[in-house]
Amino acid sequence: MATVTSEEFRDLIGRFASGVTVVTTLSDGIPYGTTASSMTSVSLEPPMLLVSMNRSSSTGRAVVASRHFAVNVLAEDQSEFASRFARRGSSFTDLNIARGDRGAPLLPDALATFECRVADELIAGTHVVIIGEVERAGGRAGMPLAYFRGSFGRLSVNGIDV
C-alpha cells in the first residue's frame, strides 16, 4: 500500500457510510452547534461515546471549555439541520429547541439525544477526540439520516428503502 495524501484519504474515507449528528453545548451562556458524522460508542459500563471535532471549530473549543455537550442523532427527514450546522456561524435562531440538564441545545424531533460530560480528550492531528460519559439519553422510533460520499440520504436495507 502506498502513502496516502489528504485528498486520497478524504476520497477513500468518504466511502464509509455513517449517521449524522449535531453536537451542541452551552458555554458562557452562548449556544454552539456543529454537524458531525464522527460519533461512536465507546463503552456500555459506564455508557460512553466519542466525537471527533476539528480543533479550529468554535463548537469543539466550547465543548472543551464547558466540559459538557449533547449529541443529537438526526432522523432521515432532518437534513436541513445537518446543512444548517455544517456552516460556520450557524445559529439556533428560529428553532424550537429544548435545553438539556446543563443547557446544551437539544434539537426538536432528533432520533436520539445523548447528554454527556467530558470525561477525556485527546489531540489527534487536526482534531480533538472528545470522550463523553452519557448522563442522560432519550430517543424515538424512526430511521437515521445517512451520510455517504459527501451527500445526505436514506438507508436501504437488503435493497429495500426503510
Residue 119 grid cell: 470525561
Is residue 161 included in any domain, yes or no? no
What percentage of residues in the chain have a pLDDT greater than 90? 76
Can you state the percent helix, strand and coil of the chain, rounding each to 5?
15, 50, 35
C-alpha pair distances (Å), 40 with each of 32, 37, 43, 58, 129 = 20, 9, 10, 21, 11
User: Would you say residue 10 lies in a domain?
Assistant: no
Which residue from 105, 129, 107 is spatially nearest to 50, judged by alpha carbons? Answer: 129
Q: What is the pLDDT of residues 106-128, one digit of tens each?
A: 998 999 999 999 999 999 999 99
Amino acid at 54: N
Tell me the CATH number at 70.
2.30.110.10
Q: Determine if the peptide bond prior to 46 is cis (ω within 30°).
A: yes
**Domain annotation covers residue 149:** no
- Cα 162 to Cα 156: distance, rounded to the nearest angstrom: 6
**Is residue 9 included in any domain, yes or no?**
no
Instruction: Please report which confidence band the pLDDT of residue 9 belongs to, taking 50, 70 and 90 as the band edges.
Output: confident
> Is 122 domain-assigned?
yes
Domain housing 41: 20-144
Cell numbers that stand for 2 in this block: 502506498
State the pLDDT at residue 153. Answer: 87
- Residues 105 and 137: their CA atoms lie apart, in Å, by 13
What percentage of residues in the chain have a pLDDT greater than 70?
96
Please give the Cα distance from 50 to 124 (Å, whole number): 13
pLDDT value of residue 160: 57
Number of domains composing the chain: 1
Instruction: Name the residue with cell 436514506.
Output: 154
Please report whether residue 110 resides in a domain.
yes
Q: Which residue has the higher pLDDT, 74 or 18?
A: 74
- Give a yes or no: residue 152 inside a domain: no
Per residue in 25-68, pLDDT tens? Answer: 999 999 999 999 999 999 999 999 999 999 999 999 999 999 99
Task: Read off the pLDDT of each residue in 69-88 and give the average, rounded to a whole number.
Answer: 95
In a domain, 89, yes or no: yes
Q: Given this model, what pLDDT does residue 159 score?
A: 64
Give the closest residue to 77 by CA, choosing from 152, 1, 2: 152
Mean pLDDT of the chain: 92
